Amino acid sequence: MVAFAANSVLNKLGVSQGGMEPLGFAMLRLWSGALMLLILVWFRQNAARETGSFVGAASLLVYMLGFSLAYVTLETGVGALILFGVVQITMFAIAAITGERIPTLRYIGCGVAFSGLVVLLWPSNGVTVDLWGGVLMAAAGVGWGVYTFVGRGAVSPLLRTERSFRFAAMFMGAVALVVGLPMGTSLGYATAVASGAVSSALGYALWYRVLPQLPTTIAATVQLTVPVIALAGGMVFLGEALSLKFFIAGLLVLGGVGIALRKQA
């Protein structure tokens, strides 16, 4: 979850202070992630055979493009609420369809944790949600939920992640031929590469590694800690202020996750 939160901090830093366009940031993030994973797979020549997953690559692409482009018209807090709300709905729906047993405490815990995000991210002034931005972020939420679910069946988490990044990066290469290469400052390039090569490539490979050990609904609920961790990172690295609202929201999110993790008698 720290790796996922780091992506949010790096994306915000690269776009707001590094001169990167959201689409350009997504391109460089995917390319650097694919290169890092290719190097790791080359060093691990004894890795298990993995054919890859078209659904995994497509859902990863939908997530990254939707996430980056939605923030052109959406405020950060509203975008995060849409994203994580749709992720929860998608993953709980997949769990129900596939016959996973979902204890009542898990529903309650997820609800409490999400209420913490509402406290944390709900805008204090009247905000109108851009329809196109909302649709893009909702698509990103579905994409991430599907990408997470597909990872549960990976024979080799590292190879499956590499295949998904490779195919998504190839598509973004075709996009670059139309719109041009990413442009930005050295800070923008550095944050995009760090996001792709470290917190995305390595973080997603690790996520695929632990997913088979987690019920789908637990994997969904623990992700609600990501915005809290990201805001904490913003306080440390971007100089954002600590607030009482953050403290209360953090308690609700962590408390909700704790409830979801409890075994029901």
| Res. 163: pLDDT tops 90 | no
Model-level pTM?
A: 0.84
Q: For 67-85, what is the mean pLDDT?
A: 78
pLDDT band at 52 (very low <50, low <70, confident <90, very high): low
The number of angstroms, rounded, from the C-alpha of 170 to the middle of its chain's C-alpha atoms is 20
| Res. 121: pLDDT tops 80 | no
Chain mean pLDDT for the chain: 84
Angle (CA) 174 50 36, round 5°: 55
pLDDT of residue 193: 94
CA distances from 85 to 57, 75, 212, 229, 246 (A): 22, 15, 23, 17, 19
| Res. 148: pLDDT tops 60 | yes
pLDDT of residue 126: 60
pLDDT band at 10 (very low <50, low <70, confident <90, very high): confident
| Res. 92: pLDDT tops 80 | yes
pLDDT band at 49 (very low <50, low <70, confident <90, very high): low
Q: For 164-172, what is the mean pLDDT?
A: 90
pLDDT of residue 150: 85
- CB-based burial label for 47 (10 Å; 0-12, 13-18, 19+): middle
> Tens of pLDDT along 198-252?
999 999 888 988 888 888 888 888 888 888 887 777 777 666 677 788 888 888 8
pLDDT of residue 161: 87
Q: For 33-58, what is the mean pLDDT?
A: 79
- CB-based burial label for 34 (10 Å; 0-12, 13-18, 19+): buried
